[in-house]
Amino acid sequence: MTRCVKVDPQCPASGVLDDAASILRRGGIVAYLTDTVYGLAVNARLPQAITGLYALKGRSSDKAIPLIIGAPEQLSDVAVAWPRRAESLMAAFWPGPLTLLLSPHPNLPATLLGNTGRIGVRWPDSPLSQGLALRVGSAITASSANRSGAAAALSAAEVEVQLAPDVDLILDAGSANEPQVSTILDITVEPPRMIRAGRIPQEAIESVLGCGITKNRTEKG
């Protein structure tokens, strides 16, 4: 049965974070508001939890699941290396809605990568998201809180309609300000490639990099 708990997204109560972290450590699923839309968190260290997340969403196993870190210090736990240009983007847009595709740490469960061979990581501008990852002690997943192919959930009520009773806990932090998701950029290729357009515009990324980027063939415009 799904529980729903109110939480202040800017100053989440310690007890609420402890409750959510306990669920994640034992392999459960928590829905929470990121700095974009509602996401689904599982512990990135637990393969069985990741498998459960794929099943819940009805997500194809060849599609990767992105991660959220609670602080820059957690980045080395999920990625083995990143180029200097990635550091420039992190300095410009983190914490914030930019997901970078990086070379994964070998200890990450392979199921997170789909068939991409890369891991998507971001440090969000969200005390709630940061607090969850820090309290768990590892990166957490950031897949949008919806069934695959459905619209991203913008409120706890929308999460409940789509996903209850299969989510263990919904952290009700109010409504998302807008439906726009994070920008996803593959920084492992030359030139960098925008995999998904989002809140960080292409022009801003190119300004930081000092060069053009390409768009994924599924991106338009």
pLDDT in tens, 155-212: 999 999 999 999 999 999 999 988 889 999 999 999 999 999 999 999 999 999 999 9
Tokens of 192: 């960098």
Q: What was the pLDDT predicted at 217? A: 61
- Percent residues over pLDDT 90 in the chain: 94
pLDDT of residue 81: 86
Residue 219 has pLDDT above 80, yes or no: no
Map out the domains of the chain with their CATH numbers: 3-215 (3.90.870.10)
The position carrying tokens 């300000």 is 177
Average of per-residue pLDDT across 56-73: 96
Dihedral sign for Cα atoms in the order 126, 113, 4, 199: positive
Task: Tell me the mean pLDDT in the region 72-91.
Answer: 96
pLDDT at 33: 97
**Inter-axis angle of helices 202-209 and 84-93, to 10 degrees?**
130
Rounded CA-CA distance 177/36 in Å is 8
CA 101 to CA 195: how far, in whole Å? Answer: 9
Q: What is the mean pLDDT of residues 85-106?
A: 97
Predicted pLDDT at 54: 97
Strand pairing report for 3-6 and 169-172: parallel
